[in-house]
Chain A
Amino acid sequence: LAKTTQPISMDSYEGQEVNITCSHNNIATNDYITWYQQFPSQGPRFIIQGYKTKVTNEVASLFIPADRKSSTLSLPRVSLSDTAVYYCLVGPGGYQKVTFGIGTKLQVIP
C-alpha cells in the first residue's frame, strides 16, 4: 500500500473551512484515496473516497490533483463537533488490508 504523510495536528476556529492535505507520492494507478474520521472513544467512520478530480458529499469535499500524488480533505465551516482525528488511506480497489497510521488530530476552537 502507498505510504501517506499528513500533518499530526491542526487547529481551527469554528466557522472556518479546514483543509487537510495528505501526500502519497507513490500512489499506484489502481489506488483509491479514502478518508476516515474518528471521535474519541469511537471507531473510525468513513467520510469520503475518490480516485481523481473532486468528490463532494454532505460531509466533506475531496480534491485530487491530476498527478494524484496528494489529496486534500476539505471540511466547510467546522464546528466543535468536528474535533476528531482524520485518517488518509491509499489503497487498491476491492478488498484491502490497510494501515491507518496516526492521522491528523483536528482541534476546533470556539
Chain B
Amino acid sequence: DAGITQSPRHKVTETGTPVTLRCHQTENHRYMYWYRQDPGHGLRLIHYSYGVKDTDKGEVSDGYSVSRSKTEDFLLTLESATSSQTSVYFCAISGGAGGADTQYFGPGTRLTVL
C-alpha cells in the first residue's frame, strides 16, 4: 500500500470551531487531493494540489481551505465547521506519470460536527 496517513482518524467537534485535517505521504508524489464522501454522493473532490504551494479548487470547495508547504503534507482546514461538513474525508496522492493518473487513497478521517 502507498505510504499515506491521515490524522486524526476520528474527530468530533462543535459548530463554529476550526478544524484541520492532515494528510502525510512518504511516496514523494507530486499530486495530492482531498475528497469527502457522503451517502448518495460518492466521492467529491474538495481541493487538490499539483505541487508545493500550488493548489486549486474542486467541485465542493466552499467552506474549505488547503495548504501545502512541503511535498509530503497536505492540510485541509475548515475555518468554521458546520454540521453539513460532517463526512468522511479521504486524502489521495498520485504521481501523474504515464497512462492515466492512478490515485492512491489514505484510510480516511471521520469528522462529526455537532
Task: Report A's interface with B, CB cutoff 8 A.
Answer: 31-32, 34, 36, 41-46, 49, 51, 87, 91-103
Task: Report B's interface with A, CB cutoff 8 A.
Answer: 30-31, 35, 40-45, 48, 50, 56, 58-59, 90, 92, 94, 96, 98-108
Whether the Cβ atoms of B105 and A99 lie closer than 8 Å is no
Whether the Cβ atoms of B100 and A91 lie closer than 8 Å is yes
Contacts of A32 in B (CB 8 A): 99-100
Given known A-B contacts A43-B92, A99-B59, A94 and B101 have beta carbons under 8 A apart: yes
Given known A-B contacts A43-B90, A44-B43, A98 and B103 have beta carbons under 8 A apart: yes
Whether the Cβ atoms of B104 and A92 lie closer than 8 Å is no
C-alpha spacing A109/B5, complex, angstroms = 33
Whether the Cβ atoms of A101 and B100 lie closer than 8 Å is no
- Shortest CB–CB separation between residue B89 and chain A, in angstroms? 10
- Shortest CB–CB separation between residue B109 and chain A, in angstroms? 11
Contacts of B30 in A (CB 8 A): 95
Contact of A43 among B42, B94, B96, B108 (CB under 8 A): B108
Contacts of B98 in A (CB 8 A): 93
Given known A-B contacts A42-B108, A43-B92, A97 and B45 have beta carbons under 8 A apart: yes
